[in-house]
Amino acid sequence: MAFIEWRMQGPEIASCNCDWGCPCQFNALPTHGNCRAMTGMRVDHGHFGDLSLSGVKWAGMFAWPKAIHEGGGEAFVVIDPSATEAQRNAVLTILSGQETDPGATIFNVFATVIETLHPPVFLPIEFELDIDRRLGRLQIEGVLDTQVSPIRNPVTGAEHRARVTLPNGFEYREAEYASGRTRSPDPVPLSWDTGHAHVAMLDLSTHGAA
Protein backbone atom coordinates (compact mmCIF):
# COMPACT_ATOMS: atom_id res chain seq x y z
CA MET A 1 0.00 0.00 0.00
CA ALA A 2 1.33 3.43 -0.93
CA PHE A 3 1.33 6.08 1.78
CA ILE A 4 1.86 9.81 1.72
CA GLU A 5 5.46 10.21 2.83
CA TRP A 6 5.82 12.35 5.94
CA ARG A 7 8.48 13.17 8.51
CA MET A 8 8.64 15.17 11.76
CA GLN A 9 11.93 16.03 13.46
CA GLY A 10 12.23 18.05 16.65
CA PRO A 11 12.24 18.05 20.46
CA GLU A 12 9.63 16.21 22.51
CA ILE A 13 8.39 16.53 26.09
CA ALA A 14 6.45 13.59 27.53
CA SER A 15 5.22 12.80 31.03
CA CYS A 16 2.93 10.26 32.67
CA ASN A 17 1.54 9.32 36.08
CA CYS A 18 3.86 6.33 36.51
CA ASP A 19 6.97 6.27 38.68
CA TRP A 20 10.24 7.50 37.19
CA GLY A 21 11.29 5.23 34.37
CA CYS A 22 7.75 4.36 33.21
CA PRO A 23 7.14 0.59 33.11
CA CYS A 24 5.75 0.87 29.57
CA GLN A 25 9.27 1.49 28.32
CA PHE A 26 10.18 -2.02 29.54
CA ASN A 27 7.00 -3.91 28.56
CA ALA A 28 5.72 -3.89 32.14
CA LEU A 29 2.35 -2.87 33.59
CA PRO A 30 1.67 0.73 34.70
CA THR A 31 2.64 1.73 38.25
CA HIS A 32 -0.88 2.56 39.40
CA GLY A 33 -2.81 0.15 37.16
CA ASN A 34 -3.88 2.88 34.74
CA CYS A 35 -2.15 5.25 32.35
CA ARG A 36 -2.54 9.01 32.12
CA ALA A 37 -0.06 10.87 29.98
CA MET A 38 0.82 13.87 27.88
CA THR A 39 3.26 14.43 25.08
CA GLY A 40 4.11 17.37 22.89
CA MET A 41 6.50 18.32 20.12
CA ARG A 42 7.92 21.26 18.27
CA VAL A 43 8.51 20.28 14.66
CA ASP A 44 11.79 21.93 13.67
CA HIS A 45 11.89 20.15 10.31
CA GLY A 46 9.09 18.22 8.70
CA HIS A 47 6.82 17.62 5.77
CA PHE A 48 3.64 15.82 4.75
CA GLY A 49 4.03 15.06 1.09
CA ASP A 50 5.00 18.41 -0.42
CA LEU A 51 3.60 20.39 2.52
CA SER A 52 6.12 21.78 5.01
CA LEU A 53 5.38 21.09 8.69
CA SER A 54 8.37 23.03 10.01
CA GLY A 55 7.47 25.25 12.96
CA VAL A 56 4.27 23.42 13.91
CA LYS A 57 3.72 22.72 17.63
CA TRP A 58 1.29 20.15 18.96
CA ALA A 59 0.40 18.45 22.24
CA GLY A 60 -1.71 15.45 23.21
CA MET A 61 -3.35 14.34 26.45
CA PHE A 62 -4.21 10.68 26.93
CA ALA A 63 -5.81 8.33 29.46
CA TRP A 64 -6.47 4.60 29.69
CA PRO A 65 -8.45 2.91 32.50
CA LYS A 66 -5.95 0.05 32.68
CA ALA A 67 -2.77 -0.79 30.79
CA ILE A 68 -2.55 0.85 27.37
CA HIS A 69 -2.76 -2.42 25.45
CA GLU A 70 -6.11 -3.22 27.13
CA GLY A 71 -7.72 -0.33 25.27
CA GLY A 72 -10.58 1.97 26.20
CA GLY A 73 -8.38 5.05 25.93
CA GLU A 74 -9.24 8.66 25.24
CA ALA A 75 -7.20 11.38 23.58
CA PHE A 76 -7.29 15.16 23.17
CA VAL A 77 -5.03 17.05 20.75
CA VAL A 78 -4.09 20.73 20.68
CA ILE A 79 -2.27 22.36 17.75
CA ASP A 80 -0.76 25.83 17.89
CA PRO A 81 -2.90 28.23 15.79
CA SER A 82 0.16 29.44 13.88
CA ALA A 83 -0.26 26.29 11.78
CA THR A 84 -2.22 26.70 8.56
CA GLU A 85 -5.38 24.70 7.96
CA ALA A 86 -3.47 22.37 5.67
CA GLN A 87 -0.76 21.84 8.31
CA ARG A 88 -3.39 21.20 10.99
CA ASN A 89 -5.08 18.56 8.86
CA ALA A 90 -1.74 16.93 8.07
CA VAL A 91 -0.69 16.76 11.72
CA LEU A 92 -4.09 15.37 12.77
CA THR A 93 -3.74 12.72 10.06
CA ILE A 94 -0.31 11.73 11.38
CA LEU A 95 -1.35 11.76 15.05
CA SER A 96 -4.34 9.55 14.27
CA GLY A 97 -1.98 6.90 12.91
CA GLN A 98 -2.85 7.29 9.25
CA GLU A 99 -0.42 7.26 6.33
CA THR A 100 1.92 5.08 8.42
CA ASP A 101 3.27 1.55 8.22
CA PRO A 102 1.32 -0.62 10.71
CA GLY A 103 2.90 -0.47 14.17
CA ALA A 104 5.70 1.81 12.99
CA THR A 105 5.03 4.82 15.24
CA ILE A 106 3.55 5.55 18.64
CA PHE A 107 0.67 7.33 16.88
CA ASN A 108 -0.23 4.28 14.81
CA VAL A 109 -0.05 2.02 17.87
CA PHE A 110 -2.11 4.35 20.08
CA ALA A 111 -4.79 4.64 17.39
CA THR A 112 -5.66 0.98 17.93
CA VAL A 113 -6.34 1.42 21.66
CA ILE A 114 -8.14 4.78 21.75
CA GLU A 115 -11.91 4.62 22.02
CA THR A 116 -12.76 8.30 22.53
CA LEU A 117 -11.14 11.04 20.46
CA HIS A 118 -12.14 14.49 21.67
CA PRO A 119 -12.43 17.23 19.03
CA PRO A 120 -9.08 19.01 18.54
CA VAL A 121 -8.60 22.64 19.50
CA PHE A 122 -6.18 25.26 18.26
CA LEU A 123 -4.54 27.28 21.03
CA PRO A 124 -1.12 28.89 21.61
CA ILE A 125 1.46 26.39 22.88
CA GLU A 126 4.51 27.52 24.86
CA PHE A 127 7.32 25.01 24.39
CA GLU A 128 10.69 25.36 26.13
CA LEU A 129 13.25 22.56 26.44
CA ASP A 130 16.92 22.02 27.26
CA ILE A 131 17.38 18.28 26.71
CA ASP A 132 20.86 17.99 28.23
CA ARG A 133 19.75 19.74 31.43
CA ARG A 134 16.39 17.89 31.51
CA LEU A 135 14.59 21.18 31.97
CA GLY A 136 11.48 22.11 30.08
CA ARG A 137 7.92 23.31 30.06
CA LEU A 138 4.92 22.87 27.81
CA GLN A 139 2.05 25.19 28.61
CA ILE A 140 -1.35 25.79 27.03
CA GLU A 141 -3.21 28.39 29.05
CA GLY A 142 -6.19 26.85 30.84
CA VAL A 143 -5.59 23.46 29.25
CA LEU A 144 -2.19 21.98 30.10
CA ASP A 145 0.88 22.78 32.16
CA THR A 146 3.76 20.30 32.23
CA GLN A 147 7.09 21.09 33.85
CA VAL A 148 10.13 18.83 33.49
CA SER A 149 13.13 18.81 35.82
CA PRO A 150 15.98 16.42 36.67
CA ILE A 151 15.38 13.38 38.84
CA ARG A 152 17.03 14.06 42.20
CA ASN A 153 18.69 11.80 44.74
CA PRO A 154 16.23 11.52 47.68
CA VAL A 155 19.06 11.76 50.24
CA THR A 156 21.46 14.34 48.82
CA GLY A 157 19.22 16.18 46.37
CA ALA A 158 21.86 15.79 43.69
CA GLU A 159 20.72 15.49 40.09
CA HIS A 160 20.48 11.92 38.83
CA ARG A 161 20.91 11.39 35.11
CA ALA A 162 19.46 8.40 33.26
CA ARG A 163 19.43 7.92 29.51
CA VAL A 164 17.55 5.06 27.86
CA THR A 165 18.15 3.64 24.40
CA LEU A 166 15.46 1.66 22.59
CA PRO A 167 16.96 0.38 19.31
CA ASN A 168 13.53 -0.69 18.05
CA GLY A 169 11.50 2.07 19.69
CA PHE A 170 8.43 3.40 17.90
CA GLU A 171 8.54 6.79 19.68
CA TYR A 172 12.23 7.49 20.17
CA ARG A 173 15.54 5.67 19.88
CA GLU A 174 17.18 7.53 22.79
CA ALA A 175 15.74 9.73 25.52
CA GLU A 176 16.81 11.51 28.68
CA TYR A 177 14.68 10.52 31.68
CA ALA A 178 13.43 13.16 34.08
CA SER A 179 10.73 14.06 36.58
CA GLY A 180 7.47 15.59 35.42
CA ARG A 181 4.74 17.68 37.01
CA THR A 182 1.49 17.95 35.03
CA ARG A 183 -1.87 19.65 35.42
CA SER A 184 -4.72 19.47 32.91
CA PRO A 185 -8.37 20.03 33.94
CA ASP A 186 -10.39 18.53 31.07
CA PRO A 187 -11.49 16.92 28.82
CA VAL A 188 -8.73 14.48 29.86
CA PRO A 189 -7.90 15.33 33.49
CA LEU A 190 -4.23 14.89 34.41
CA SER A 191 -2.60 15.64 37.77
CA TRP A 192 0.71 14.53 39.27
CA ASP A 193 3.71 16.19 40.92
CA THR A 194 6.55 13.69 40.50
CA GLY A 195 5.63 11.46 37.60
CA HIS A 196 7.85 10.00 34.93
CA ALA A 197 9.07 12.28 32.15
CA HIS A 198 11.31 11.86 29.18
CA VAL A 199 12.70 14.33 26.68
CA ALA A 200 14.13 13.48 23.29
CA MET A 201 14.84 14.61 19.77
CA LEU A 202 12.23 12.77 17.73
CA ASP A 203 12.68 11.74 14.14
CA LEU A 204 9.47 10.05 13.06
CA SER A 205 8.23 9.20 9.59
CA THR A 206 5.84 7.09 7.58
CA HIS A 207 8.12 4.14 8.27
CA GLY A 208 8.91 4.62 11.96
CA ALA A 209 11.51 6.18 14.27
CA ALA A 210 14.99 6.95 12.94
pLDDT higher than 80, residue 1: no
Residue 25's SS3 state is helix
Q: What is the pLDDT of residues 176-191, one digit of tens each?
A: 999 999 999 999 999 9
pLDDT band of 170, cuts 50, 70, 90: very high
Helices (H), the chain: 85-95, 106-111
Beta bridge partner(s), residue 52: 47
- Tabulate helix, strand, coil % of the chain (nearest 5): 10, 50, 40
pLDDT tens digits for range 29-80: 999 999 999 999 999 999 999 999 999 999 999 999 999 999 999 999 999 9
What pTM was estimated for this model as a whole? Answer: 0.95
Task: Indicate if the pLDDT at residue 156 is higher than 80.
Answer: yes
Q: What is the pLDDT of residue 192?
A: 98
Spatial CA neighbour of 176 closest among 209, 150, 195: 150
Give the model confidence (pLDDT) of 92-108 as tens digits: 999 999 999 999 999 99
Name residues whose C-beta falls within 8 Å of residue 49's C-beta, 6 or more positions apart in sequence: 4, 5, 6, 90
Does position 134 have pLDDT exceeding 90, yes or no? yes
User: How large is the average pLDDT for residues 80-93?
Assistant: 98
pLDDT of residue 12: 98
- Domain-by-domain residue ranges, the chain? 6-209
